[in-house]
Amino acid sequence: MIITQITELSKYILKEYIKSGDKVVDATLGNGNDAEFLAQIVGEQGRVYAFDIDSDAVEACKERFQSKYPQIDFILDSHENLNMHVKGTISAAIFNLGYLPGGSHETYTKADVTIKALNKALVLLKPEGVLAIASYVGHDDFQEFNAVREFMKNLNPKAYKVIFINPENQNERAPKLFICQKIKAESGLITKLMIKKSKNLPRESVKTLKLSSDCGIVDDIHAGRTLRQISLLSQSTKSSLQDYKMGLCVNRFSENIRFDNLETMSLKVSQQLKIADAVLEITQIGKECFEDCLIRKENKRCPLYTQALFARVIVGGDICLGDEIEPLPLI
């Protein structure tokens, strides 16, 4: 096979990481070729979330593909809002940055919006999932490309692998390709830490928490000899709560530790988590619903029902943003 375009190479790589039944994202629908490619791989049991802000492009693709590929959701919205539309985690996402081929050069992807979209795509990406970003440079004189390259260079190397492909013997304005894969790790990474010092104060985002054995977080309102000294939530679950804003738990729950790159469903009650010198023990998985929650009244459950974690401190110590969370084997 001879690859003549960056977009072809992008698809060639993605094929290795997508299977039938998967959920994927086409972040820049355009003329629909990428959405069709993805739909053919995921099949009727899969789902393709295809985004564009150009209503003409969306309507044209609907007319062209909707009857043949019912697994495509055509979404007239910016890809920076993809977390509000995508249900659960995704195996892959494809971005073709620039303007619509054959369309108006007045409408094109912009650096600040693209970076927001990439952040949200990474949160939704499952371990070993892949982002493919074809970056064209002529529409804004390298501004978006430079922003994306800087963003990719600064990703945590323990959580992501990034490859940059640049056609060396072509015009400098030839499109470039970024391939980013989330690493499947034995440990997770702390992405946010919060403390609530008083009932009348909101939780405060901090860089370090001091943990005390069999007590919890020093100066936190929930510290004490209980089984729910600390609450934890994955980054992907936090993102998925956007679809459950009417829920009472969603508006009231605020975790102490947010983490990425660790599958909640793989954890068990009584399992210990090592963070720096500290050790936590999981005491509860899932949060009970409030009886007057609107979601519960519809006989549904938000993700907190199965994915919120609670723990107590077995060994104290300081934990920091970026620390690894290592699940220890069950004894």
Mean pLDDT over residues 33-52, rounded? 96
Q: For residue 185, is pLDDT > 70? A: no
- pTM over 0.75, yes/no: no
May I ask the CATH architecture of the domain 188-327? Beta Barrel (2.40)
Question: What is the residue extent of each domain of the chain?
Answer: 6-182, 188-327
Mean pLDDT over residues 76-94, rounded? 90
pLDDT of residue 100: 66
Are 18 and 38 in contact by the 8 Å Cβ rule? The answer is yes
14 phi/psi in degrees, rounded to 5: -60, -35
- CATH classification (class only), 6-182: alpha beta
Residue 10 to residues 34, 51, 99, 179: CA-CA distances in angstroms? 10, 18, 18, 8
Q: Three-class SS of residue 281? A: strand
Q: For residue 183, is pLDDT > 90? A: no
Q: Model confidence at 147, in pLDDT bands (50, 70, 90)?
A: very high
Distance between CA atoms of 32 and 75, rounded to whole angstroms?
A: 12
Q: For residue 265, is pLDDT > 90? A: no
How many residues comprise the chain?
331
pLDDT of residue 105: 60
pLDDT of residue 106: 65
Name which residue leads in pLDDT, 324 or 251: 324
Q: For residue 293, is pLDDT > 90? A: no
